[in-house]
Structure 1
Amino acid sequence: MTDSVQSIRRRVQVPADHAGGRLDRVLAQLLPEFSRGRLQQWIEAGQVWVDEQPCRVRDKVWGGAVIRLAAELTHCDEHRPQAIALDVVYADAQILIINKPAGLVVHPAAGNPDGTLQNALLHYAPELAALPRAGIVHRLDKDTTGLMVVARTLQAHSALVEQLQKRVVHREYRALVLGTLVAGGRVDAPIGRHPTQRTKMAVVRHGREAITHYRVLESYPGHTLLAVELETGRTHQIRVHMTHLHHPLVGDTTYGARPRPPRGCRPELAAALQSFPRQALHAIRLGLLHPATGEAMHWEVPMAADLAALLRLLRQEAADVANRLA
């Protein structure tokens, strides 16, 4: 496979809530289709201007400033196609809707050089090699299941990135959390890198705006099933916000969740809770405007099998408790 060169031209205005941020960080937020490392390279190469002035990576930018990017992107065989099965929910000439399984990393990285969703997409649709990150415009954590949208053309890519920035894309999740919540609510708490544990995120004073809405769907002994909707899309947002509320996701050992089987529960339920291998989070619904037609489109997938099985056991336990109290 030979290398190909793509001209990249972008012009964005700095929103007021990004004022005072470092250029590379702000640009990474405004142009999420490109990695921060790549953007830093372009800045250092003089391919980025702020209000038509040359700039440095560490320069601060202010609300209303116009950032212009004019760069060349070389696509090569760095990430090879791999025949990895995909659950394609919808496909047309502009977009793909994927139902991602648990355990599938979205992008290749140091610890996961291949075997990722990106490798699978390049095999399924080789033309995606011409797009940034093979058309992936947002991501799910490795062990989060459910719906993702992938662009198949540059037009679709730009349109979807814009929809994400303008918060037009609707994303709804199912989250099984520890503890009992009696009502829904809204979490408005900024998220940034954890001050001492760099592999984690946390609610921090000077983090990026992060807003999560949740409502109670079902209650079980010691556990609650929530419907969660994202207003913003920060790394680990639902996991961090639920931990912030002292109701971490079942199975989320990264954020301190330990199994808490209800006292006296069925052995099957205790074993299932103690062995659940991932955060209990599933992207169940996705809605967006089609990038070519503008049509409002929506998709829904069933609950992931492992989470559905755990919920059945919790419902049985809730029924047992109700019968004992009757």
Structure 2
Amino acid sequence: MSTASPDDEDLRLQAEVPENLDGARLDVACARLFDQYSRARLQSWIESGRLLLNDAPQTRTRHPVTVGDRLELEAEPEQSTVVEPQDLPIEVVHQDKAIVIVNKPAGLTVHPGAGQRASTLQNALLYHFPQTAAVPRAGIIHRLDKDTSGLLVIALNLKAHHALVDELARREFTREYDALVQGEFIAGGTVDEPIGRHPRERLKMAVVDNGRPAVTHYRVQERFPQHTHLRVQLDTGRTHQIRVHLAHLRRPIVGDFLYGGPMRGSGLPVLLRDKLKAFPRQALHARTLEVTHPTTRKRVGATVEPPADIAELLELLRAHASGALK
């Protein structure tokens, strides 16, 4: 889709906007035309001025493109790494010729990074679905944090990958999460606050004025003394979005030590208090995922209940709320 000069220290990629991308967002067009790179990486390059649109820098990822526009991207060379297939277990909840939907367990990293080159979901996908070697990031369209459990959709071929990337960019995925939070909510609501890198702590994201738009909807599923079980839906998919937005409301997710700090609450039964205090991850689970199938164009998806660790906490909270646990 794109051309590059191999003699350049940086990769200089060129492409022309085709008719089927007329009017698309710049980052969406780049994701289709330079599909050897992730959309997040392309967005970062656009915002840093590495992309020329008709020979002029364009840093707005949402800028619409027109058929015939010339794009020139100065891509940063990446360290050459090969992701090897590994025979790791995967729970598949839907599979056909174009996509699979998997239920990722807590503790499994989605794709390799600087600190982890193996034992990731991407390694497992390359083993169980060898055809994904021809698809960017082994067909991974979106991600979950390592310690968040739940559903992810995987593209098994390039056509499905392109369709799902575009659908995600149009915010047409349906994603619903279970979140167990510290503190009590009276009613549901929406958080519409921009998210960007934390100004002082580089490992954290935060609500910041110059961040990217982020919208999170939540509704109360169950109320407990000092805690609430929420159902959360995403309009956008920023890094750590649910965790950041709920912490912004001063209702951090149970077990989220990055954004929530030590467990709050007093007067809880010893068993419940100890379980909450020792919970080793954020109590967040991607329970429902629905997408438009890239081939049939029908909606397809799945729902999985929270895993045993979250379910056990919920049962203890219910027992406490009913007076059965003292």
State whether TM-score is above 0.5. yes
TM-score where L is the length of structure 2: 0.82
Q: 1:201 to 1:33 in 2, by over 3 A?
A: farther
2 CA distance for matches of 1:214 and 1:38? Answer: 29
1 CA distance for matches of 2:253 and 2:44? Answer: 37
Tell whether 2:207 aligns with 1:208.
no
What is the identity, as a one-letter code, of the residue corresponding to 2:280? P
Which residue of 2 is the match for residue 148 of structure 1? 152
2 CA distance for matches of 1:245 and 1:42? Answer: 32
Q: 1:77 to 1:111 in 2, by over 3 A?
A: closer
Identity of aligned residues (%): 48
Tell whether 2:138 aligns with 1:134.
yes
Which residue of 2 is the match for residue 306 of structure 1? 309
Q: Is the 8 A contact 2:194 2:208 kept in 1?
A: yes
Q: Which moved more, 1:64-73 or 1:157-166?
A: 64-73
The aligned runs of 1:70-109 (5 Å cut-off) are: 78-109=82-113
Q: Is the 8 A contact 1:250 1:257 kept in 2?
A: no
Equivalenced residue count is 301
Q: Is the 8 A contact 1:174 1:284 kept in 2?
A: yes
2 CA distance for matches of 1:32 and 1:223? Answer: 43
Which residue of 1 is the match for residue 9 of structure 2? none
Tell whether 2:276 aligns with 1:277.
no
Q: Which moved more, 1:92-101 or 1:28-37?
A: 28-37
Give how far 1:68 is off. 5.4
Q: Is the 8 A contact 1:33 1:137 kept in 2?
A: no
Alignment deviations for residues 122-178 of structure 1 (CA, whole Å, 9 cap, x no partner): 011111011101000100000000000000011100110111111111000000010
1 CA distance for matches of 2:320 and 2:34? Answer: 47
Tell whether 2:318 aligns with 1:315.
yes
Give how far 1:298 is off. 2.5
Give how far 1:221 is off. 1.2
Give how far 1:302 is off. 1.6
CA RMSD of aligned residues (A): 3.4
Q: 1:261 to 1:272 in 2, by over 3 A?
A: farther
Q: 1:153 to 1:316 in 2, by over 3 A?
A: same
What is the identity, as a one-letter code, of the residue corresponding to 1:287? E
Q: 1:64 to 1:206 in 2, by over 3 A?
A: same
Structure 2: runs of 5+ lacking an equivalent = 1-12
TM-score where L is the length of structure 1: 0.82
State the secondary structure of the residue aligned to 1:105: coil
Give how far 1:39 is off. 4.4
Which residue of 2 is the match for residue 172 of structure 1? 176
Q: 1:28 to 1:176 in 2, by over 3 A?
A: farther
Which residue of 1 is the match for residue 261 of structure 2? 257
Give how far 1:266 is off. 2.5
What is the identity, as a one-letter code, of the residue corresponding to 2:293? H
Which residue of 2 is the match for residue 116 of structure 1? 120
State the secondary structure of the residue aligned to 1:247: coil
2 CA distance for matches of 1:233 and 1:41? Answer: 15
Alignment deviations for residues 183-234 of structure 1 (CA, whole Å, 9 cap, x no partner): 0001000000001111110000010000000000101110000000001111
Alignment deviations for residues 272-312 of structure 1 (CA, whole Å, 9 cap, x no partner): 10110000100000111111000111310121110001110
Q: 1:181 to 1:94 in 2, by over 3 A?
A: same
1 CA distance for matches of 2:255 and 2:34? Answer: 32
Which residue of 2 is the match for residue 248 of structure 1? 252
Q: Which moved more, 1:61-70 or 1:213-222?
A: 61-70
Which residue of 2 is the match for residue 190 of structure 1? 194
State the secondary structure of the residue aligned to 1:142: coil
Q: Is the 8 A contact 1:221 1:262 kept in 2?
A: no
Which residue of 2 is the match for residue 64 of structure 1? 64
What is the identity, as a one-letter code, of the residue corresponding to 2:135? L
2 CA distance for matches of 1:228 and 1:199? Answer: 24
The aligned runs of 1:215-234 (5 Å cut-off) are: 215-234=219-238
Structure 1: runs of 5+ lacking an equivalent = 1-6
Tell whether 2:185 aligns with 1:181.
yes
Q: Is the 8 A contact 1:192 1:203 kept in 2?
A: yes
2 CA distance for matches of 1:36 and 1:159? Answer: 13
What is the identity, as a one-letter code, of the residue corresponding to 2:157? T
